[in-house]
Amino acid sequence: MRKRTTTEVFRITGARQGLNDDVRGRQRRYVISMAVRTVSVILAATLWNVERHVAIVALVLGALLPYVAVVIANAGRERPPSLPSVFVPTPAQPALGPGVPQAEDQAEPHTRQS
């Protein structure tokens, strides 16, 4: 037979992402946004004499994207989750069983007569 433990059991599905994985993901997002910025600046330079409205939009995107990318990259780790959604409590076992009232508790209170 298995021996039961009295420790609390938590599921780890709500655990935070590891630090290396978090840094790697932020670096990946930064590189992707910088690649989009590079493409938009090249597109703006290419389309400047052909389609000026599209070139201006691409230029504005290329100017704003570095700020957004840095803010996203420096946002930090995700918020730690609260307690796991599934918590298995240990069964509560009373330390003492139900008590039998003692004779003093059952006796009627004494009344004072003067």
CB 76 within 8 A of CB 26: no
Name the amino acid, one letter, at 40. S
Residue 82 lies in a domain: no
Residue 1 lies in a domain: no
Question: Which residue, among 65, 83, 80, has the nearest Cα to 29 in the 3D structure?
Answer: 65
Residue 44 lies in a domain: yes
pLDDT at 79 over 90: no
Return d(Cα 72, Cα 7) in angstroms, integer: 40
- Overall number of domains in the chain: 1
Domain range for 23 is 17-75
Q: Is the pTM of this model over 0.75?
A: no
pLDDT at 18 over 90: no
- Over residues 24-66, the pLDDT tens digits come to 888 898 899 889 999 999 999 999 999 999 999 999 999 998 8
Residue 71 lies in a domain: yes
CB 74 within 8 A of CB 35: no
